[in-house]
Amino acid sequence: VGFRPFVYRLAHDLGIAGRVCNDADGVLIRAEGLPQDLARFRASLRRAAPPSATIDEIAVEPAEGCGYEAFEIGASSLSSRPKVRVPHDLATCAACRSEVFDPCDRRHGYPFTTCTDCGPRYSIIEGLPYDRAATSMRRFVMCAQCREEYGCPEERRFHAQPNACGACGPRVALLDREGRQLSRGEDAVRAAAGLIRDGWIVALKGLGGFQLLVRADRSGPVARLRSKKGRPSKPLAVMVPSLEAAARLGVVGPIERCLLASLENPIVLLDRQPPGLARGGSELAPEVAPRMASLGVLLPTTPLHHRLLAELDCAVIATSGNRGDEPIVTDERDALGQLEDIADAFFIHDRPILRRVDDSVVRVMDCGSVTIRLSRGYAPFPLPMIERLIQEAGTDPGAVLATGGQQKVAVALWSGSQAVLAQHVGDLDGAATRRAYAHLVPDLCALYGCEPVAIACDLHPDYSTTRWALAQGRPVVRVQHHHAHAVAGMAEHGLLDREVLAVTWDGTGYGPDGTVWGGEALRASVDRYERVASLRPFPLPGNEMAIRQPRRVALGLLALTFGEDAVLGNAGGLARLELAPCDARTLLRMVRRGVNTAWTSSVGRLFDAVAALVLGAGEVSHEGEAAAWLEWVADPTVNDAYELPIRPPGHGTGIGDPTIPRGDWQPMMSALCVDLAKGVDPGVIAARFHNTLARWAAAVVVRQPLRDIVFSGGCFQNRRLTEATLRAVQASTGARIYGPGQIPPGDGGLAAGQLAIALSRLTNRGVQGFHS
Ligand SMILES: [Zn+2]
Ligand SMILES: [Zn+2]
Ligand SMILES: [Zn+2]
């Protein structure tokens, strides 16, 4: 982040002699000067630090003078376990951007312009400390002018590792689908923009991987991209040239504005105008993000993106360059092979991407900015609260890796000196993503110079990450899914030292009582949990199939509410589910006989079932689709709710743990079906459903004496649900409320919780106490 150059300039200004270098523990500064100058120097270190720098701690010790005559920057010393934070990839800063668009600047138009405040880092680093020789920029020999900037302390590019210009740095080229070069340099930028303007799909080698670009304002090209990518309905993110352009597509509040313009450069989920009222309607094809309350928008990441957007007059889809759910492609040779059927042309460059980093996704809620996907700009994400856990325990069990879950996987690592949550990998259902995962783990351990002595993973025996963990031949710590969610939420707010009540709602998590959990309230601390409330279980006819076909879940709920015969006679509106009576009968028989039917207490699945009934979302292409649709239609002015009473332990079907109170959805299902039969507006029913869950959470919370309430799990990516629930709980208790934040509330944050739990158990009992 240009910290050493900053120290140099500061020392120089204050007349301080000495030396600054990176070492294993961070930055070491030897400063010699008058006491008052040294005091000012020390105070300014934190105050005037570069915008992208984070200072964890400044420790000062007196030392013997060495008689330095000036201030110098020392070479970095190699170390095996660097404590220095790995620098994040940052978007182009304002100064570099104005150079790129300044016809008099020597970098006019140059797509790889960077300085110490911006540019690629994590994605181009081979090893630490962060020096040019240890990055993929090492193959480019700086020209005399660049070298002068790099060596001159007065320059903005002093020790900027990716420093380059048109004469010496990376270059772009445009290739056709066979890999033949169509054009280079300036011509390539204009030609690529021309192809996008004409509606073609261009695969662009971006900062952390390939992206697929297509103009976002015309249905034809967007629909073509969707069909080629095999992505029928999952929302696509849109890149726009400016904040003004973003504000035409969605609602940009002050926090959204900061996030959009930040150097972290995430995709920000903006609220769309209600259907029919969209201001920028004609600027965006309806296929971009169908049936979503939000629209993912980001500003240009690199000068290359800025150039392309400036050449175009429309918003551009910028979606991950991958096939289906495979990992994003980083290398042009792979791109030509894997994206050949999707892209019409390839816009590439010759700076290797060493680490795959997707775009991050954030969403602003009442409780602040919530990370939906943690990746470029944020990863590796420091977890100082987990480091403190080790410091306070006084014993270090050695490096520990946490594997994450099955969907939206990210790993977390305690290296022996720092704890981090690494970048988003994806869903491990496909072999290609599993290979990417198997590659990422050793890469991360090598970067941090550690070898894990133990591995934390989920309780689910069939998760790819569980299988991977068990195959490593090292002690394994198994962590219950919702306990991990709870502790991830506790880590977010620095609550690892206490017991909290954690409301953990998601789609699916392995429960030790033989059911699928997902609507849980846990009394949790970092080393144990107790389930204190849950939803009454309902069946998932066909298990995985029930996730893809919410109509199956709805059928099960209707049968339990009205009785099988009544349901087959269309009580509750079976016809809405578009299920043939013979199929319905077969599914109900499966449930009765317990064939291929798990039972669940999942709030996520309840969302699916309600969306199937109310909106006809009988089948979905990705998890969360039905819930997002329900959130989108929910009428914001509706405040009433259905009833979801809490039944005492022992009440019910005898499935799952009989010792806990259960939220009974049956009265809600009956009332909801009455509303449907009366023709009540789906937006009103959807709103009542959200409010019902919020009030149920409040009713659960008031029965517990705990003073700190944490909310975690994938359902809290739903803004309407999160805000309603936090408000309802706030109104009914004097306890402190902690919503989701920077650690993703969904399974992308799971590994942070797993890591804290494993470290706590290992420091108490030692690695030897744990064998799989
Ligand atoms: Zn810059
Ligand atoms: Zn140069
Ligand atoms: Zn989960």
pLDDT one-digit tens code per residue, 692-750:
999 999 999 999 999 999 999 999 999 999 999 999 999 999 999 999 999 999 999 99
- 77: confidence class by pLDDT, cuts 50, 70, 90: low
What are the residue ranges of helices labelled H in 198-253?
219-229, 243-249
- 1: confidence class by pLDDT, cuts 50, 70, 90: low
CA of 38 to the centre of ligand 1 (A): 29
Ligand located closest to 405 CA? 3
Ligand located closest to 748 CA? 3
CA of 484 to the centre of ligand 3 (A): 9
Task: Tell me the average pLDDT across 498-515.
Answer: 96
pLDDT of residue 181: 96
Ligand located closest to 167 CA? 2
pLDDT of residue 277: 47
Ligand located closest to 99 CA? 1
Cβ pair 197, 216 in contact under 8 A: no
CA of 96 to the centre of ligand 1 (A): 4
Q: Is 720 left (phi over 0), alpha (psi -120 to 50) or beta?
A: alpha
CA of 481 to the centre of ligand 3 (A): 6
CA of 141 to the centre of ligand 2 (A): 8
CA of 615 to the centre of ligand 1 (A): 48
pLDDT of residue 239: 97
- 24: confidence class by pLDDT, cuts 50, 70, 90: low
- In total, the chain counts a number of residues equal to 772
Would the pLDDT of 576 be above 60? yes
Ligand located closest to 144 CA? 2
CA dihedral 92, 93, 94, 99 (to 10 degrees): -60
Q: For residue 318, which of 221, 426, 244, 214 has the smallest C-alpha distance? A: 214
E-strand ranges in 499-634 read: 500-510, 516-524, 529-535, 538-541, 597-600
- 176: confidence class by pLDDT, cuts 50, 70, 90: very high
Would the pLDDT of 25 be above 80? no
Ligand located closest to 460 CA? 3
Global pTM value: 0.89
- 766: confidence class by pLDDT, cuts 50, 70, 90: low
CA of 318 to the centre of ligand 1 (A): 22
**Measured between alpha carbons, how far is residue 124 from residues 142, 209, 348 in Å?**
17, 11, 16
CA of 138 to the centre of ligand 1 (A): 19
Question: Look-up: residue for tokens 């880590």?
Answer: 491
What is the chain's mean pLDDT, rounded?
A: 92
CA of 119 to the centre of ligand 1 (A): 7
Ligand located closest to 147 CA? 2
Task: Tell me the average pLDDT across 390-404.
Answer: 92
DSSP classification of residue 409: B
Task: Tell me the average pLDDT across 638-653.
Answer: 90
CA of 109 to the centre of ligand 1 (A): 14
CA of 369 to the centre of ligand 1 (A): 25
CA of 24 to the centre of ligand 1 (A): 27
> Token digits for 675?
């509303």
Task: Tell me the average pLDDT across 461-477.
Answer: 95
Task: Tell me the average pLDDT across 134-153.
Answer: 95
- In angstroms, rounded to a whole number, what is the distance separating the alpha carbons of residues 274 and 416? 50
- In angstroms, rounded to a whole number, what is the distance separating the alpha carbons of residues 229 and 225? 6
Would the pLDDT of 772 be above 50? no
Could you tell me what percent of the chain has a pLDDT over 90? Answer: 76
Ligand located closest to 458 CA? 3
Residue of higher predicted confidence among 770 and 175 = 175
DSSP classification of residue 599: E
Task: Tell me the average pLDDT across 357-383.
Answer: 96
CA of 152 to the centre of ligand 2 (A): 14
CA of 91 to the centre of ligand 1 (A): 8
Task: Tell me the average pLDDT across 541-557.
Answer: 95
Cβ pair 410, 751 in contact under 8 A: yes
Ligand located closest to 96 CA? 1
CA of 132 to the centre of ligand 2 (A): 14
- In angstroms, rounded to a whole number, what is the distance separating the alpha carbons of residues 34 and 29? 16
Lowest mean pLDDT segment, chosen from 219-228, 334-343, 498-507, 740-749: 334-343
- 771: confidence class by pLDDT, cuts 50, 70, 90: very low
Would the pLDDT of 674 be above 60? yes
Cβ pair 181, 175 in contact under 8 A: yes
Ligand located closest to 114 CA? 1
CA of 142 to the centre of ligand 2 (A): 5
Instruction: Mark the residues whose beta carbon lies below 5 A from ion ligand 3.
Output: 506, 509, 747
Cβ pair 405, 481 in contact under 8 A: yes
Ligand located closest to 263 CA? 1
pLDDT of residue 75: 66
Would the pLDDT of 770 be above 70? no
Would the pLDDT of 81 be above 90? no
**Measured between alpha carbons, how far is residue 73 from residues 4, 9, 20 in Å?**
7, 10, 5
CA of 505 to the centre of ligand 3 (A): 8
CA of 114 to the centre of ligand 1 (A): 5
- 641: confidence class by pLDDT, cuts 50, 70, 90: very high
pLDDT of residue 695: 98
CA of 22 to the centre of ligand 3 (A): 39
- 769: confidence class by pLDDT, cuts 50, 70, 90: very low
CA of 429 to the centre of ligand 2 (A): 44
Would the pLDDT of 564 be above 60? yes
Ligand located closest to 50 CA? 1
